[in-house]
Structure 1
Amino acid sequence: MSLPPAPTDAGKAPDHPRRSQFALLRQRRFLPFFLTQFGGACNDNLFKNALLVLLVSGAVAGERVDTLVNLAAGLFILPFFLFSPLAGQLADKYDKARMIRWIKLAEIMIMVLAALAFQMRAWGPLLALLFAMGTHSAFFGPLKYAIIPQHLHAEELVAGNAQVGMGTFVAILLGTIGGTLLAGRPDPAAGIGAAIILVALLGWFASREIPAAPAAAPGLPLDWNPLRQLVALYRGIAPQRTVFFAILGISWFWALGASYLTQMPHFAMSVLGGTPPVIALLLSVFVVGVAAGALLCARLSGPRIEIGLVPLGAIGLSLFGLDLSQAAAMVAAGTQRLGPLALSEHLPMLRVLTDILLLGLSGGLYVVPLYAHVQAHTEPDRRARAIAFNNILNALFMVAASLLGILLLGVAGLGMPGFFLTLALLNTAVAALLFARAPEFLSGMRASMARRTRRR
């Protein structure tokens, strides 16, 4: 079924003709928030990737590189486990717009210190600041998705989430490429420092224009024990079956996306025989696909939350993942390194690019309705804590995806085609479990198809 518009804090929008999907970007209740979250996602990845590139490019002793790289990855994600429960409580207890501004001020201070540490090549402090940036993101996460229903009408939830999803992936791409390019310059410290401080400042200036978002649960007592709060979050969400399984579906999306994005550089170089620009091409194609899928979801949904698009996206993730594994198996890495233009002249390569694009598009169709469903069907005074629980699961699933990559590629020596095949089969299994336990998604797809057939 297609769920009717659920009430949100902004109430019902006045009747109006069908507007452009980007109409929200012209409104103060959305644009400053969009720019703020875009800058945060960009800076996270700019800082992290610049640091990782410097670590692996000979800036530190060779025997320490693997240790520091793995430590960096762990330090960034650890705060999501430690602080998400508290972050969700604070986001429900206090004005969200004001909290966002405080978090953006903290980001500026972190980035100023990081710029100094880059100049001094102080790797220990940089790792500590990476942990601080992960903490910043852990506290921002519940605010990011809980504030949307306070400022948007019920009919705008899907469009708002689509644009946030599009913006997040584009920001991740820009930060990843920007951090890599800046770290590859002859004197990288000055450029990296200037970029991360500038992005942080722009994010803070944008946050100053976010309208007030009053506390949903001002009398909430704070529980500082993350484990006890995690259990409480699970007990509060698990009885809401479709919300709980929507959260699990979102976490699986992030695990799957992390698996593909993490392995793209290795796939581009070792399987496709590409040059470094090919890595940027593959990442860009995937991100363009996700952005297009998110916008297509908003277009198909209109003012409703079309949970029937979730099975459609899941089917695409499996089918195009299977085809990517077959296309990858057909492509043998040659001795000659190929650039992006040469790569596009080969039909098997075009098949690979098409599969990656459609994987991203399927992911956008899949995840946007899930976020909107969680927002619309969670009580306003518990919404941020539900998002915090989702963020914890996202981090857990991405760590599991990283371990799966290590086991299959490093220990079992499976190879990239086999790895992509495994991801597609796992997605099929997860989707089957999700839709068996929450059949509303499948019935939503059938109802949506029947409704569109009748319109014709």
Structure 2
Amino acid sequence: MSQFTLLGRRRFAPFFWTQALGAFNDNAFRSAMVALVSYRMALPQSDVSLYNNLAPGLFILPYFLFSASAGQLAERFEKTRIIRYVKLFEILAMMLAAYGFITHHLLLLLCVLFMMGMHSTVFGPIKYAILPQALKPFELVGGNGLVEMGTQMAILIGLIAGVQVMQIADGGSHYSAAMTIGIAIVGYFASRLIPAAPATAPDLKLNWNPVSETMRVLRITRESHAVFNAILGISWYWFFGTLVLAHLPMYASIDLGGDASVYTTVLVLFSVGTGIGALMCEKMSGRRVEIGLVPLGAFGLTVFALDLYLRGPVAAGVHGRNWSAFLLAAGSWRIVLDLTLIGVFSGFYVVPLFAFVQARTKADRLSRVIAGNNILNALFIVTASLFGLVLDRVGLSVPQVFLVAAVLNVVVAVYIFTLVPEFLMRFITWILVNTLYRIRVEGMKHLPEEGAALLVCNHVSFMDPLILMASLRRPARFVMYYKIFKIPLLHFVFKTAKAIPIAGQKEDPAVLQRAFEDIDEALANGELVCIFPEGGLTRDGQLAPFRAGVEKILQRRPVPVVPMALRGLWGSVWSRRDSMLGRARLPRRFRARIELVVDAAAPAAQMDAAVLQDRVQALRGDLA
């Protein structure tokens, strides 16, 4: 089922259009106001510069003042009711904006800009916290991808529409007023169709002190080490994006020699690329929260920002050419490719991070964590703006600014991936498995969404744990032979995934005993544990007798048991098919097709080694 089917479901579609229309109106209003100040009013250039620089600050200020309170409201009350109040507030703001547009009342327009910042601040925690309530876990990445795509397209169209409508010769102000009010009204009626999203913390005591509540929200945000570093990654994305996007107008004008249409083309390339990358995340991740895409995204951002620097100016001495002349100019294809792929890799980078935060945060505090994320995002955006001004003052060209962004991205990525090795581990796993295999998964619906369970699978190759890591929707602790656990490079992956090494009684009784203790502790903590009861890789492609260790585990901790089977791996270079001949086996085909079949969970009381062996044998069939 494609992620696009969500656009036909009431549990998602009305919310999607509500947030997209809100993003459109935010940007249409802001760009219309800038166009009014810059082109329709006879103001001194100093006043124009003042208003244009003041506007972003006024819009971002509410994120610092009200994000913590917005997070509380989203936890305490039913979310769709808040959304409808927010949309009514937007209609009121646009009515005031209409008067400001028509009368050219700049002070009123600046007040409306602050109000729209409040609108976005209150809506922000709901925007991402409502998705886990509306979507199934396997839809989370696809839903986030659609929201990111919709937001990017809405921002782009809003920016263009705001400028173009305001510049209509006769009545631009009136048309702008009508457009923004009309979109706000349509957004309100769309919000009326959003299904109820119950409060996740109805007993939460509200704290209206913005300072103390902001500190509390940031403390909550820091409670999970992995989630907080994912939020830092999202905030860095906003820093990187702000630094690059703020310099695109100068880049289009000076380095590309273009007019306003070239700047619009550059924005279109970046936004469309981001939308494409966001939508590709579901397919590339196998419909699971795959943070292995994040290092790939970071790598792409650096490579293509660096290439923009290396390409340098392409229009020395040329000025005022339009978008078609730019696209037809020699060497422009490389600029087009770089800008589009920066957008694509932005999608790879940010969509899995948002899905990761949603999946790893408890429902009764997700809105406040998102609020904390928004506070940090705003801080990074402001810092990026100031940093960009400093780079401009010291005389760096726009390509040199892109170089600085690329280098800083490497430093920050290494820092984050060092703090949270899980990101790099997932990247290595994703690359290895998706390079070597095409995996078909059947029955993943049987995997419990929460709570402890023992996963039991046949063991065909050294790659089995990596294949399962790449396929299961929830993290699992793998019990594996201690010599496989120590394989170079893979040792980092297994250790980071908290795999449990095990040895035979005669090899190392201490390692064996420690393994049983770790397994029991993991199950007691509500985790998934995966074991290979054959005790080693199959030597003939057939299922070896299951050992009694599985019964010992279930006697000590009777949790649900989920039988699984891998198909199609026997005969691969990582199996033991030719070991008796003393030679390695080369892969017969690139990206071989393999299968993982998951059966329904069964109570521990119904399971023993013999029954489990029969269940796994039936799942595996004749396809070893």
Smaller-chain TM-score bracket: over 0.9
Which of 235, 238, 250 is matched with 2:234 structurally?
250
Q: Are the counterparts in 2 of residues 330 and 348 from structure 1 also a CA contact under 8 Å?
A: no
Equivalent residue number for residue 230 of structure 1? 214
- 1: distance between equivalents of 2:293 and 2:368? 26
- 2: distance between equivalents of 1:277 and 1:168? 22
Q: Are the counterparts in 2 of residues 243 and 373 from structure 1 also a CA contact under 8 Å?
A: yes
SS of equivalent to 2:395: coil
- 1: distance between equivalents of 2:437 and 2:157? 43
Equivalent residue number for residue 551 of structure 2? none
Given the alignment of the two structures, is residue 313 of structure 1 paired with residue 263 of structure 2, yes or no? no
The one-letter amino acid paired with 1:143 is I
- 2: distance between equivalents of 1:44 and 1:307? 30
- 2: distance between equivalents of 1:286 and 1:324? 13
- 2: distance between equivalents of 1:85 and 1:446? 37
SS of equivalent to 2:247: helix
Which of 112, 117, 123 is matched with 2:100 structurally?
117
More strand by share: 2
Matches for 1:204-353 after TM superposition, within 5 Å: 204-327=188-311, 329-353=312-336
Deviations, residues 166-220 of structure 1 (Å, cap 9, x unaligned)? 0001011011101111122223211100110111011001000000000000111
SS of equivalent to 2:331: helix
- 2: distance between equivalents of 1:144 and 1:66? 33
SS of equivalent to 2:317: coil
Equivalent residue number for residue 418 of structure 1? 400
Q: Are the counterparts in 2 of residues 100 and 207 from structure 1 also a CA contact under 8 Å?
A: yes
More helix by share: 1
SS of equivalent to 1:306: coil
Q: How much does 1:386 deviate?
A: 0.3
Equivalent residue number for residue 20 of structure 1? 2
Equivalent residue number for residue 432 of structure 1? 414
Which of 57, 60, 64 is matched with 1:74 structurally?
57
Of structures 1 and 2, the one scoring higher in RCO (CA 8 A, sep 6+) is 1
Given the alignment of the two structures, is residue 31 of structure 1 paired with residue 25 of structure 2, yes or no? no
Equivalent residue number for residue 196 of structure 1? 180
Matches for 1:165-204 after TM superposition, within 5 Å: 165-186=148-169, 187-204=171-188
**CA gap 1:67/1:236 in 2 versus in 1, 3 angstroms:** same
Mean alpha-carbon deviation: is it higher for 51-60 or for 428-437? 51-60
Mean alpha-carbon deviation: is it higher for 286-295 or for 231-240? 231-240
Equivalent residue number for residue 376 of structure 2? 393
Given the alignment of the two structures, is residue 365 of structure 1 paired with residue 348 of structure 2, yes or no? yes
- 2: distance between equivalents of 1:58 and 1:42? 22
Mean alpha-carbon deviation: is it higher for 181-190 or for 152-161? 181-190
**CA gap 1:451/1:106 in 2 versus in 1, 3 angstroms:** same
SS of equivalent to 1:113: helix
Q: Are the counterparts in 2 of residues 249 and 370 from structure 1 also a CA contact under 8 Å?
A: yes
**CA gap 1:232/1:345 in 2 versus in 1, 3 angstroms:** same
Given the alignment of the two structures, is residue 381 of structure 1 paired with residue 349 of structure 2, yes or no? no
How many matched pairs? Answer: 436
- 2: distance between equivalents of 1:189 and 1:367? 36
Q: Are the counterparts in 1 of residues 291 and 427 from structure 2 also a CA contact under 8 Å?
A: yes
Matches for 1:143-158 after TM superposition, within 5 Å: 143-158=126-141
Q: How much does 1:336 deviate?
A: 4.4
Equivalent residue number for residue 8 of structure 1? none
Gaps of 5+ in 1: 1-18
Q: Are the counterparts in 2 of residues 308 and 443 from structure 1 also a CA contact under 8 Å?
A: yes
The one-letter amino acid paired with 1:387 is I
Equivalent residue number for residue 432 of structure 2? 450
Matches for 1:67-146 after TM superposition, within 5 Å: 67-146=50-129
SS of equivalent to 1:347: coil
Q: How much does 1:330 deviate?
A: 4.4
Q: How much does 1:356 deviate?
A: 0.3
- 2: distance between equivalents of 1:58 and 1:266? 22
- 1: distance between equivalents of 2:111 and 2:320? 38
How high is the sequence identity, in percent, across the aligned residues?
48
Q: How much does 1:302 deviate?
A: 2.5
The one-letter amino acid paired with 2:177 is G
TM-score by length of 1: 0.94
Mean alpha-carbon deviation: is it higher for 188-197 or for 258-267? 258-267
Gaps of 5+ in 2: 439-590, 592-624
Q: How much does 1:344 deviate?
A: 1.6
Mean alpha-carbon deviation: is it higher for 22-31 or for 222-231? 222-231
- 1: distance between equivalents of 2:194 and 2:40? 43
Q: Are the counterparts in 1 of residues 255 and 313 from structure 2 also a CA contact under 8 Å?
A: no
- 2: distance between equivalents of 1:125 and 1:221? 35
TM-score by length of 2: 0.69
Q: Are the counterparts in 2 of residues 159 and 298 from structure 1 also a CA contact under 8 Å?
A: yes
Deviations, residues 18-66 of structure 1 (Å, cap 9, x unaligned)? x122010010000000000000000000001110121122615313222
Q: Are the counterparts in 1 of residues 297 and 346 from structure 2 also a CA contact under 8 Å?
A: yes
Q: How much does 1:234 deviate?
A: 2.2
Equivalent residue number for residue 7 of structure 1? none
Q: How much does 1:88 deviate?
A: 0.3
